[in-house]
Structure formats: structure tokens, C-alpha cells
Structure 1
């Protein structure tokens, strides 16, 4: 029996478990089981809370298909609310260790001592193609043409902790997300696969994003994807440094500082606590 919490950030839902609950358990196999929406609890991903030797706390993240992710933007907001409200970390500013590096988190705490908003320093995006990685002769992969089936798509790829590919469109069509998303995710030029973000720029302060996540499929929101999308739009001079982003599950606020660091602010919500009877 495993104690867990289920949370969501803008509709991107997660199972969170303390490491002491699952000693000796294969995290990848457990993620596939608990994230299954028919035979498990159901979620886009699973996070494990571990002690850290390098920061205040460590976040281990797995996608619903059992693959490990370096980082998850909506996940880290849920994780941060979890560790604060469960009394594991009782500071409003702290550091979270991830496979994508150490992230600083700042919490807005209400009078009831509950977390109202979470601001995360997501770090600097990496545009260097070989670091994302993208197989190309180009130094950076911005506004380049890739062939997907019979179509030619203009794509931009960025490493925002995890690989992201951004497709700018005049209108986001759900059918394109389901059809093109998985093809681009596993395209030959992306040896580690990629997340795929379809982006509609409304004006220089507001964009819409719909994401096909690597290892999870279409989700209601992707924090790192939103950050990558805003930075790509900023790099191409489509938007300014402060952008509101609408995703199917809600809204996120993103801003870029003078050092090109990307900051994400949004909420996180508890759905339930429960017990999982592992088989």
C-alpha cells in the first residue's frame, strides 16, 4: 500500500509520492501503473520526493509511459506546493534539485498558510542544436523546415530543461496536435525525441499554446513547453519579455529577465490524497 497525493497545474496532473513509501520499487514500472487512467490512478506523470545532498529537496520525475524526464514545469509547481504544505520544506523560498539542474522556487503564501502561487526560475534556454539535441548542420534550429509525412513544417527547437519544438500557427487545430505531434516527437532529427508545442501569437503580450508531450501525449498544459514557446517567440521578436499564456487547462505568466532567464508563475491544486494498492 502506497500513500500518494494527486495534484494538477493548469490541468497537467501528477501523482506525488514520498521516497520512503516506495523503497526498492522500480520507479519507471510504478509510473506506468499509477498513471494508467483505466487500471491505475490516472495522471500525466509521477514525481517522487527525495532528500537532496545539493539543495533543499530533490524532485524525481517520470512520464506516464515510464520514461524519466529531466524536468517538468507544471510538475515543479505541484511538487513545491506539496513539500511546503506537507511540512517537508517550511520556507517560502527554496531550491529544488532536478535532472535539469537546481531550480529556485518562490511561494506566495496566504493567511491560511496555504500556497497561492508559485514562481519558478526555469533558467536560461539553450538554442545550440547539438545540445537539444537536433541532427542538423545548423548551429541553432530556429524557423527551419522539416518534412513530416507529405507536409513541410517550419519548426524551432530549444532546450528548456527538456527538448522542445515550437510550431507557430495562425490557428491551433486539435487534429493537428494529435496527427503531427507524435510524428514530430519521434522524428529522425530528434535522437532523444522532443516535446511539440503548437503556438498561436495573439499579440505581443498574449499567446496560446497546445502541447504534445514527449512520453505522455497531448496534455492540458506543459510548463517547460510554455516557457520554450515564449522564448522562441521573443527570440523571433513576436512578443515582449512579459507574456500571458493560455493553455487548454488554464493560464500561466512567463517573463524573461535581462540575463535571458525565464521565469514561470502559476498555481497548483491538490485533487486528493489516497492509498494505492500496488499489485
Structure 2
């Protein structure tokens, strides 16, 4: 099976043409393929498939083999992949995902995608729909106890569930320990991504990412959008902000019913694997 290895802000993925390969044969192999020592290595895998309602369908899988609704950094890689591989050569794409229809605008020069802007819409704030086992109409500035420490958090659904932790400084919390603890906390029946953020100024946020099903990663696109949206809602930042991730800078703009995310995506290498060995 041929694949393309890509990265967006340090989030790395394997991209597969599902028009050529059987999805049912790929899915059981995903965890082993994403293993960084014994496989190809990656934060997740995306498969391009035909769609009856959109230009293309994206199936996304985390590195532990679980299926995710979508991935923002992954979506940028995905649209570059389908465009440059000739699967769908449109500069304005409509993508079917498990999180609903997503839209992408591509900046193309000499048949190469240089930059991508995606729109992630329909944020959910009601805890019953995120879901979060908590009362109220939204989950802003609530309190959770992790390892004996009380921590304030906010949670929304934007593509996937995202929990936002504001930090006074970059070393306030053990990202890996607290991130894992919150991800699997009973408060979140479907688990949650955890985003630790420091607001640098009204237009700049630094973010550290713990992803549901993948662990510590260098960045998360929907996490960056969620951080920008929550920070704006709480009055800490403007509608437009730069998000400094550990893998590079992203740019967001809060919309009336969603968030726009702008950034690049790069092909790291092309490869081929024998699925029977995984």
C-alpha cells in the first residue's frame, strides 16, 4: 500500500488514497502503522474516500486506532493531498467528515498548494451535547480536581471535544500528567482533548496540546481554534489571533458560527508498506 507522510504545524499523518485501497484492510493496522519505533509513525491516519454529498470524504483515525470525528491540522494536510494527487483538483473544497461538512480554500501556485484556510463551524457549548457530565447551559470556568489539585477549565465541542486550561506561565502544569488525567476523567464520557494555553497579549496565544487518542502532540488545529474561540468568549483576546504551537504558528479568526484556521501543510515523504506485516 502506498502512502504519503505529511505534517501540519508538526502534527504528522499518513495519507492514503481510499479509492485504490480497501478501508477494511487498513483500519486494523492503524495502531501499528502509527507506531514510531516499529511502524511508519504518526499522530494519525487519514483516508480519502468518495462522497455522495461533498467533493470528498475524509475518514480520520487517531494513532491508537480509534476513529476521530475530524482533525484541523489533518484537514489541511488532507486537502493538499487530494489536490496534488489529482483526486479532486478544486481550489474551494467541500469535505465530508464525521463532524459534519467542512470547507477549505486553497492558495495554489504552479500546481502546488502553498497555504490552506479551513472553516470549522457549528461549535457546541451545551454540556449534554459535548458531552460533559455537568449541569448548566455551557462549560466555562468550571472546576475539576485532578491528582488532588483543583483546576479551572472550559470545554466546547468544535469538531471534537476540547477542554481549555488557562495557565499563568508555561510551566504551571505537568502537561502530560494533567492532560492524560483530564482526557480520561469520568466527567468526559467520550474523553476530551486538553489544550493548555498562555495568553501572551490580545492577539497572541501559546498552546500546549494533549490529544484524545494520540497523547502529547506538537499541535492541534481544532484545539487551536477552540482555544482562540474560548479565549475570545472570555474576553482575553480579539477575534483574530496568532496561535503559537510547539510545531509552528497558526492563525485563527472567530466567526459568527465557527472559526477560520489558516496555516500550511507539507509532504514529508512518500512510502509503501506491506500491510500483511502489520
Quote the Cα distance in structure 2 between the aligned partners of 1:226 and 1:26.
33
Q: Number of paired residues?
A: 276
Quote the Cα distance in structure 2 between the aligned partners of 1:27 and 1:209.
32
Task: Summarize deviations over 1:77-130 as a string: whole Å, max 9, x none.
Answer: 0000000011111110010100001111100112x2210100001113111111
Post-superposition offset of 1:138: 2.0
Given candidates 255, 258, 262, the residue that maps to 2:259 is: 262
Quote the Cα distance in structure 1 between the aligned partners of 2:69 and 2:234.
26
When the two chains are superposed, the root-mean-square deviation of aligned CA atoms in Å is 1.2
- Contact (CA 8 Å) 1:100, 1:162: kept in 2 or not? yes
Quote the Cα distance in structure 2 between the aligned partners of 1:75 and 1:121.
13
Post-superposition offset of 1:248: 0.2
Residue number in structure 1 paired with 2:105: 106
Quote the Cα distance in structure 1 between the aligned partners of 2:231 and 2:257.
13
Task: Summarize deviations over 1:134-161 as a string: whole Å, max 9, x none.
Answer: 0012221110001111100100000001
Quote the Cα distance in structure 1 between the aligned partners of 2:68 and 2:259.
19
Residue number in structure 2 paired with 1:219: 217
- Contact (CA 8 Å) 1:133, 1:191: kept in 2 or not? yes
- Contact (CA 8 Å) 1:13, 1:43: kept in 2 or not? yes
Given candidates 174, 188, 207, the residue that maps to 2:205 is: 207
- Contact (CA 8 Å) 1:47, 1:59: kept in 2 or not? yes
- Contact (CA 8 Å) 1:28, 1:68: kept in 2 or not? no
Quote the Cα distance in structure 2 between the aligned partners of 1:19 and 1:51.
8
Residue 61 in structure 1 maps to residue 44 in structure 2: no
Quote the Cα distance in structure 1 between the aligned partners of 2:224 and 2:171.
17
Post-superposition offset of 1:174: 8.7
- Contact (CA 8 Å) 1:46, 1:63: kept in 2 or not? yes
Post-superposition offset of 1:24: 5.7
Partner SS for 2:27? helix
Post-superposition offset of 1:26: 4.2
Residue number in structure 1 paired with 2:228: 230
TM-score scaled by structure 2?
A: 0.97
Residue 144 in structure 1 maps to residue 142 in structure 2: yes
Post-superposition offset of 1:4: 0.3
- Contact (CA 8 Å) 2:19, 2:50: kept in 1 or not? no
Quote the Cα distance in structure 1 between the aligned partners of 2:173 and 2:135.
31
